[in-house]
Structure 1
Amino acid sequence: MNVTTERMPALYLSHGAPPLADDPLWPGQLAAWSAELPRPKAILMVSAHWEEAPLALGATEAVPLVHDFWGFPPHYYQVRYAAPGAPGLADDVRKLLRGAGTPVQDIPGRGLDHGAYVPLVEMFPAADIPVLQVSMPTLDPQELMAVGRRLAPLRDEGVLIVGSGFFTHNLAALRHSGGGIPSWSAEFDDWGHRAIQAQDIDSLLDFEHASPAGGLAHPRTEHFAPLFVTLGAAEGDLGQGRSVIDGFWMGLAKRSVQFG
């Protein structure tokens, strides 16, 4: 694939956990999705697993991954994803955000966490596209949409902006659900799908109150929050939103959406 000269889409994906690699279906879905995309010049990742204020830029050269999970078999800790750093993209992010009055800090030793590298291993396994991860400085949906709007010009420079979370995420409730798809997960997934299709941004912003079972689907909202960075970056293309992946994994909705 040649690096695109066209405007890149903006993505929100459900990133799974390290065992995603062993799932018989999901890795292929992610690979098929990336095969349909223009080849990005660089990838900007916003993961549910990095909250840091002020907004922080991660490593701009290859550093070890952040294996931010516990209790898994040893081979999950041996995964590597040595994508090139993206110092030029980091400079562009600083200019866009600081120009809009948003403070930015650098944490050069902070590698990609599993919300970033787990899906990237499946989507871009050659690890030959520069990747920059930035933190979520807040969980406030309105503020995250504003960050996304400020980052949106990067799409015209061939940058793929990816918000990485999980469309429903309540591991504690899953442990007591008795297996299958919990009703709270199915109900929230259906509501969120319809809200995105209808471009009902107001309802999405107020998802904790406007959605069915919002408190169970997201008792803490960090896994839904990256969607709002994506929505901000996608303004102007919200009418082109489509679910590329749906269904459930261990009872959690793995809905993943592309705008543009």
Structure 2
Amino acid sequence: MTPSATPVLYLSHGAPSLADDSLWTSELANWSADLPRPTAILIVSAHWEAAPVTLGATETVPLLYDFGGFPQRYYDVRYPAPGAPALASTVRHLLRAAQVQVHDEPRRGLDHGAYVPLVEMYPDADIPTLQMSMPSLDPHMLYRVGTALTPLRDEGVLIVGSGFTTHNIRLALRNPSPGAVPAWSAEFDQWVHEAIASKDLDGLFDFRRKAPAAGIAHPTVEHFAPLFVSLGAAAQSSDSGRSVIDGFWYSMSKRSWQFG
């Protein structure tokens, strides 16, 4: 990995209604403006679990509106990013070399964990984009997948893990005031922030037992899991990661990191 390797991101992606939050959208736009322009984007979303590792469409296909009960305008969003067949070929090679099986699902479009933040970060939809599934929710397995993808950084590929630093929709809806930050969310957010800053990888792997309020902050772990792909892809970076976005959105931490 060269000193100019493309950074790796873990971001909190928000619901489709993220588009209505002017602060958050500006934070994402400013972040992308500070990054080197990627040759392609490889994104792993909390909303796609499939084993073995599965690659989505390599040509432009309709988005996957994997949500319900929202106003029609959220289903009218388009993001016709070019497909990334060359990137898909390289990903297959890297993962198979690491003894990781790879399948393809060529008609699966980007889900909202992928396109919602990308609409704000790269609104021209002109960067080849590929989505990859999480084959497991096991942190060690996801980290292994991420480490196999590290060479992509030298090719200008932006690797993005898209989840949510805390994610409990049920409790968030009970307390929907944007200014209310419950202890479970604040404590978990602070613990993760400190664990990443200190490179406490063992603690992060064992977050279900070691992090305060982990079972409340993540009653299911799919929104935290993409972090481990990002950590693996950034394993050779000398820095510990920089928190680029922080704060809370309806009780949930939207903290996001840049590695490298």
1:136 Cα deviation from its structure 2 partner: 0.2
Gaps of 5+ in 2: none
TM-superposed deviation, 1:199: 0.6
1:159 matched to which residue of 2? 157
- Is the CA contact (8 Å cut-off) linking 1:6 and 1:158 kept in structure 2? no
Deviation string for 1:215-256 (max 9, x for gaps)? 000010000000000000001225241000000011100000
CA distance in structure 1 between the aligned counterparts of 2:175 and 2:237, rounded to whole angstroms: 37
SS at match of 2:133: strand
Give 2:219's aligned residue.
219
Alpha-carbon distance, 1:49 to partner: 0.2
Residue equivalent to 2:31: 33
Q: CA deviation at 1:126?
A: 0.5
Answer whether contact 1:199 1:239 (CA < 8 A) is retained: no
Cα distance in 2 for residues equivalent to 1:49 and 1:191 = 24
Aligned to 1:87: 85
Question: C-alpha distance in 2, partners of 1:128/1:177?
Answer: 39
Structure 2 residue corresponding to 1:71, chosen from 49, 69, 87? 69
TM-score (norm 2): 0.96
Within 5 Å, give how 1:98-113 maps onto structure 2.
Answer: 98-113=96-111
For normalisation by structure 1, the TM-score amounts to 0.96
CA distance in 2, matches of 1:256, 1:125: 19
Given that 2:94 and 2:149 are in contact with CA atoms closer than 8 Å, whether structure 1 keeps it comes out as yes
Could you tell me whether the CA contact under 8 Å between 1:243 and 1:258 is conserved in 2? yes
Name the % identity: 65
Contact 1:184–1:216 at 8 Å: present in 2 too?
Answer: yes
Match of 1:187 in 2: 187
Query: 2:125 — aligned with what?
Result: 127
Letter in 2 for 1:146: R
How far apart are the structure 2 equivalents of 1:32 and 1:238? 24
Q: Is the 8 A contact 1:53 1:137 kept in 2?
A: yes
- 2:255 aligns with 255
User: In the comparison of the two structures, how many residue pairs are matched?
Assistant: 256
Corresponding residue of 1:207 = 207
Q: Which amino acid in 1 is paired with 2:212? A: P
Please give the secondary structure, in 2, of the residue aligned with 1:90.
helix
Distance in 2, Cα, partners of 1:173 & 1:210: 22
Counterpart amino acid of residue 208 in structure 2: E
1:188-211 per-position Cα deviation (integer Å, ceiling 9, x unaligned): 001110111111111111111100
Q: 2: CA distance between counterparts of 1:18 and 1:182?
A: 23
Quick one: distance in 2 between partners of 1:164 and 1:15?
A: 6
> Offset of 1:100 from its aligned partner?
1.4
Counterpart in the other structure of 2:235: 235
Q: 1:164-216: CA deviations, max 9, x gaps?
A: 00000011122334641121001100111011111111111111110000000
Higher alpha-carbon deviation: 139-148 or 169-178? 169-178
Structure 1 unaligned regions, length at least 5: none
Task: Please say which of residues 93-102 and 230-239 is displaced more in the overlay.
Answer: 230-239
1:110-160 CA-to-partner distances (Å, cap 9, x unmatched) read 000000000000000000000000000000000000000001110011100
